[in-house]
Amino acid sequence: MKIATFNVNSLRKRVGIVADWLERHRPDVLCLQETKVQDSEFPLLALASCGYEITYRGMKSYNGVAVLSRKKPEAVFHGFDDGGDPDEARLLRVVIGGLPIINTYVPQGYEITSPKYAYKLGWYERLRRYCDKHLSPDAPALWCGDMNVAPRPIDVHSPEKHLKHVCYHEDARKAYEQVLAWGWQDVFIRLYPDRQQYTFWDYRAPSSLEANKGWRIDHILATAPLAERCVRVEVDVEPRRAKDPSDHTFLWAEFSI
């Protein structure tokens, strides 16, 4: 079983990249973030020939998540159900062949002094409670997405420069780790604890890609019984080097199921 995740940074702009990647890699499931498209504008037609079931929830301008799967999900859940703030099309949970899969686009947070950062930290707390409510750490489950957190120094270039960055600041890493403590294992770290491999390179730093100044902020996590069966995890850098790329690239994991 092959699972992939990709922050597409506008699906309408990147539908060709996504279709090409699906053709070549044929994952069972692809989680997309930052589709940036309202449901009424979702490019279903351009993806139709790929042969994937498509589950999506978007809004105008910002955020938006989608799950493309070879099998039709038997259940679909949109957003948090905690009665709190709307989650702005950042969370999608599907169940496919009995396996729950959570796809998240976690708030970036802007600056550590910003209310947006407090919202990010709170979002992780809500997510921890969401896991408590809907999943069991003892049963197979997956959590994929753009977490906007680089969990370790190795996961960001020049970590010492980014101690106050919203994606590396202590509080953000702790908030993220608190969700992991529920029962998630990062399958990349599990298989390759010493490997440095980024998934995101900022458009703004002109040579960020050439100089490999990136961040590992997109992650695939699994509960213990599934994590044990993870046999391979890869970042495919090629789409980041393509014409008109997203600032992120694809991360995928293979499970012996």
Partner DNA sequence: GCACCACTGG
Partner DNA sequence: CCAGTGGTGC
In the complex, the residues that contact DNA under the rule CB under 7 A are 9-10, 12-13, 36, 60-62, 107-108, 110, 116, 148, 202-204, 206, 244, 247
How far CA 102 is from CA of 29, 43, 122, 124, 181, in Å, comes to 11, 22, 18, 13, 16
Q: Which of 157, 169, 219, 248 is catalytic?
A: 248
The 3-class SS string of 135-164 reads CCCCCCCEEEEECCCCCCHHHECCHHHHCC
How far CA 210 is from CA of 6, 9, 205, 213, 246, in Å, comes to 20, 20, 10, 8, 15
Q: How far is the CB of 14 from DNA (least distance, A)?
A: 8
Any catalytic annotation for residue 105?
yes
Q: How far is the CB of 58 from DNA (least distance, A)?
A: 10
The percent helix, strand, coil of the chain (3-state, each to 5) is 30, 25, 45
Q: Which of 28, 146, 186, 218 is catalytic?
A: 146
27 or 107, CB closer to DNA? 107
Any catalytic annotation for residue 146?
yes
42 or 255, CB closer to DNA? 42
Q: How far is the CB of 25 from DNA (least distance, A)?
A: 22
Q: How many CB atoms lie within 10 A of CB 88?
A: 16
Q: How far is the CB of 221 from DNA (least distance, A)?
A: 20
146 among the known binding-site residues? Answer: yes
41 or 74, CB closer to DNA? 41
**Residues 60/81, Cβ–Cβ less than 8 Å:** no
107 or 239, CB closer to DNA? 107
Lookup: tokens for 124: 């992780």
Q: Which of 105, 117, 130, 198 is catalytic?
A: 105
148 among the known binding-site residues? Answer: yes
Q: How far is the CB of 90 from DNA (least distance, A)?
A: 10
Strands (E) across the chain are located at 2-7, 29-33, 53-57, 65-69, 75-78, 91-96, 99-105, 142-146, 184-186, 218-223, 230-236, 250-255
Any catalytic annotation for residue 248?
yes
34 among the known binding-site residues? Answer: yes
Angle at 38 between CA 32 and CA 64, to 5 degrees: 30
28 or 87, CB closer to DNA? 87
Per the annotation, where are the binding residues? 7, 34, 146, 148, 247-248
Per the annotation, where are the binding residues for Mg(2+)? 7, 34, 146, 148, 247-248
Active site residues: 105, 146, 248
